[in-house]
Structures are given as structure tokens and as C-alpha cells.
Amino acid sequence: MTTTVSDISREKSAELFEKAKQYFPGGVNSPVRAFKSVYGTPLFIERGDKARLWDADGNEFIDYCCSWGPLILGHNNEEIREAVQNQLGKGLSFGAPTALENDLAELILKNNSKIEKIRFVSSGTEAVMSAIRLARGYTKRDKIVKFEGCYHGHSDSLLVKAGSGLVTFGETSSAGVPKAFADETIVIALNDKEALEQVFKDFKDQIAAVIIEGVPANNGLLIQDKDYIQFLREITKQNGSLLIFDEVITGFRLGFEGASKYYDIQPDILTYGKIIGGGMPVGAYGASRELMSCISPDGAVYQAGTLAGNPVAMAAGIAALSILAKEGFYEKLEQTTGAFVDELRSFIAERNYQIKIFTIGSIFWFAFTDQEKIQRADQIDPASMEFYKKMHRELLNRGIYFGPSGYEVGFISAAHTQEDLTHTLLMIKESIDVVYQ
């Protein structure tokens, strides 16, 4: 039995989008926002509060995109808002050190044994770009190995068969990246020990670093086996290459020590973003004291930022991370997510639908497949995205906001109440029934 509902009004959003198209390429300031992979005009958001979003047409949604990950505490969190408001009266930027930078660094380093020193930047892209430079500067080698299906931001060296938006658009790399840059980046498949062994044979003593997402979550959720990640740690060490763990999504999502703790490994350089700024633009990279001493002004690897360590952003980060550091925060969120996913899995099993839900921490991903595991990008069938596209429309019509691409994961925040989740489960079940009817 299915319940049909009518399409939500997108009149105002459509008007705004027409205007935006005159100003911005594709009408947006980040490609995936253009809703190219789902139905209809992108929704222009007016405000958010806790787990909810309101668009320009007055439609209300329970949000599972959460600004693509940063909002682990939901929208308009009171403590973060107050910290930001308190800072606003003191000025927006000084281009000089502030105590706030110390406070955020202390909070992070005290709760994260994987890094000894940190440098704040303004985005995840910048964090990863800087980490790559550090690895090259330290090892005096040029080549980087990355994995098909991992996204590390849009710096030149890493826009080589990158995931997320690019896969959605059916491209494998970006125009404008010099071939000479791409030549320094080797792309191999995830979850393939032989490919790793081969690459270290083929490029002996040339590989500065291997970079991997803590848990690949930008092109589906490709949860890697523990023994594979530990093998990756070993083989990089044996070959004098650094291991960069890009924890821009997983950092502060799977606890303060992120996926490094989950896999029980010590990467050489870690990158952060998203949650770290409490919703403000902050990124960071960290490593041992020795490695970080290579960074300017201590060392020869140059990296700087006019707005790096911005006081308002630091205040937001401190407020957010102070809440996350409280005993039991992550356990509770993971339990909530586990129960949510379990309920959906039972429903799917009952109905015999070909859907798998993969999950780790408070991240979940719907895969329209009957495969038990998906650990490599090429195991995702692009044709299956048609199901997601249909489900996405049904969900929006029922007041549930998921990311506008089937390659994107969903997030549960601490602001999602039991009531929100129970209602969402009902709406998801209805939507799936409609997709398969």
C-alpha cells in the first residue's frame, strides 16, 4: 500500500535559482548544490533550527545532509550561536594571534593522541593541499597515491579521477589541471593489497605519500577492512612514504580521534575540516612535532592564510567541540543511528527490496544493490542511482531532506529527536514503497 503525496511548491526557489544562474556558473557556488542528479530546482534555504530546515517557499524539512557533515549538533545550536555572538562584538579578524586559537588547539590535542601539533586553515581542500606539500617537503619525493572513489577537495594534485560531484557529473577529472600535475598522482582501487604492492614496486622511492579518506564517504560509504588499512600503514612505513589520513568527514564524527582510532593505526599526517569549525569555515592539518617543524616559519614548507584561525570561526569550533568532548556524546549518537538503520534494514528485509544500508558512527548510506559489501568505487552501479533519484523526490515531498545525489552519505545529528527519527522512518518507508511500486 502506498501513499501518494503531491509535489512541494518550489516557486520561490525556482525564481531565486533563475536569478542565481545570472550570477554564478550553474547558479551555485559548489556544483553538487545544483540538484543535477535529482529532480527539480535546488531548494533555496532560508533558515535552520535543530534538525530542521525551511526553504524560501516555506517548506519544512528534517535535514539529513547537515551541510554535508559539519552540523553534528544540528542547526542554530544555542551554545555555538552564543559563542559566535559573544565574539562578534570584539571584531571579525585581526590577522594576529588570539587566545582562541590556543583554546581550540588545546581542546583538540588534549583529546586526540594522533597529532602533536596542528595548523588551522580555512577549508578541507586547503588542509589536504597543505598536507600533501608537507609530505613532499619532508620526504623530498613528488608522487602521491590516491584511491579511486576518495575525494580530497579540489586542489590540482587530487582532481584526478576524484569522487563525489565529479562522479555524479560523469567526469573522471577536471579540465585545467596540468598533465604534469596529474602525472604525479597515481590512482588505484580501494581494498586491493596487490595494487598497493605493485605501485610501490613500480615507483620505488618516488612516493611521498599515500592519501586515503579515514572512511571513504564521498562516493558512497566504502567501509574498508581493518586488515587492509593496517596493511596500508605497514607498506607505507616500509617504503619511507607517509600515510595521510584525510579525516575531513570522519574527524570529530567518529570521535575526536576519528577513523584512526577505529582502525587502530597511527597515520603520519591527519587532515580535518567540516565539524571542526562548528559550521564556520575551518580546516586543519596535524602531525608529530617533528613533521610539523617542517612548516613555515619553523621550516621550509610554506603555508599561510589571511583568515586562518579566524576568531569567530575559532569561537564556533570551541563551542562545538566542547559539547562533543563530553562523556558519552558519540556513544549516544551511534546508538541512535544504529537503531534507525536497524529499523530500516528490517523493513527492507520484510519487503525483500534490493537495498543495503551501510553505516558507521552517525553516517549512513543507501545503496540500491544486493551486494553484501561495497568497498570499491567500481562496485557501485551508476544505473542504481535512478532509484535514489526517485526516492529523493518522494522524501522531499514528505519533508525529509537528503543530499541531492545517491553517491552522498546521510548524517544524523545530536539535534535529531526520537520523534524526528520515528517520523523520518515512516516517510522513508513510504518513499521506498513508491519507488518500487
Ligand X SMILES: *Cc1c(COP(=O)(O)O)cnc(C)c1O
Contacts of 140 (CB under 8 A, 6+ apart): none
Measured over the CA atoms of residue 21, residue 22, residue 28 and residue 32, the dihedral's sign is positive
**Size of interface with ligand X, in residues (CB under 6 A):** 15
**Residues numbered 11-30 forming contacts with ligand X, rule: CB under 6 A:** none
Indicate whether 246 belongs to the interface with ligand X (CB under 6 A).
Answer: yes
* Interatomic CA distance for residues 234 and 286, integer angstroms: 20
Tell me how many degrees the CA angle 20-25-28 measures, rounded to the nearest 5.
55
Which one, 287 or 344, has the nearer CB to ligand X? 287
Please give the backbone phi and psi of residue 235, each rounded to the nearest 5 degrees, phi first.
-70, -35
Q: Is residue 404 near ligand X by the rule CB under 6 A?
A: no
Q: Is 259 helix (H, G, I), strand (E, B) or coil?
A: helix
Secondary structure in 3-state letters for 159-203: CECCCCHHHHCCCCECCCCCHHHHCCEEEECCCCHHHHHHHHHHC
The least CB distance from residue 157 to ligand X, in Å, is 13
Give min distance, CB of 332 to ligand X, in A: 24
Instruction: Verify binding: residue 260, ligand X, rule CB under 6 A.
Output: no
Does 277 interact with ligand X (rule: CB under 6 A)? no
Nearest in space to 235 (alpha carbons), one of 192, 292, 264, 177 = 192
Cell of 226: 581493518
Nearest to 41 by CA among 21, 58, 22, 25: 21
Answer for which of 148, 184, 213, 394 binds ligand X (CB under 6 A) is: 213
Q: Any contact of residue 276 with ligand X (CB under 6 A)? A: no
Given 246, 272, 388, 407, the catalytic residue = 246
Which residue's CB is nearer to ligand X, number 48 or number 153? Answer: 153
Minimum CB–partner distance for residue 222 and ligand X (Å) = 12
Report if residue 123 touches ligand X, rule: CB under 6 A.
Answer: yes
Say which DSSP state 96 is in.
Answer: S
Question: Binding to ligand X by residue 236, rule CB under 6 A?
Answer: no
The single residue among 124, 255, 258, 309 that binds ligand X, judged by CB under 6 A, is 124
Euclidean distance between CA atoms 48 and 136, whole angstroms: 41
Residue whose Cβ sits closest to ligand X: 124
The yes or no reply on residue 125 touching ligand X (CB under 6 A) is yes
Relative to beta strand 363-367, strand 410-411 is: antiparallel
Q: Could you say whether residue 151 binds ligand X (CB under 6 A)?
A: yes
Residue 274 catalytic?
yes
Least Å distance, CB 422 to ligand X, is 29
| CB 315 to ligand X: min, Å | 19
Among 248, 321, 344, 374, binds ligand X (CB under 6 A): 248
Chain residues binding ligand X by CB under 6 A are: 123-125, 128, 151-153, 213, 218, 246, 248-249, 273-274, 283
What positions carry a catalytic annotation?
151, 246, 274
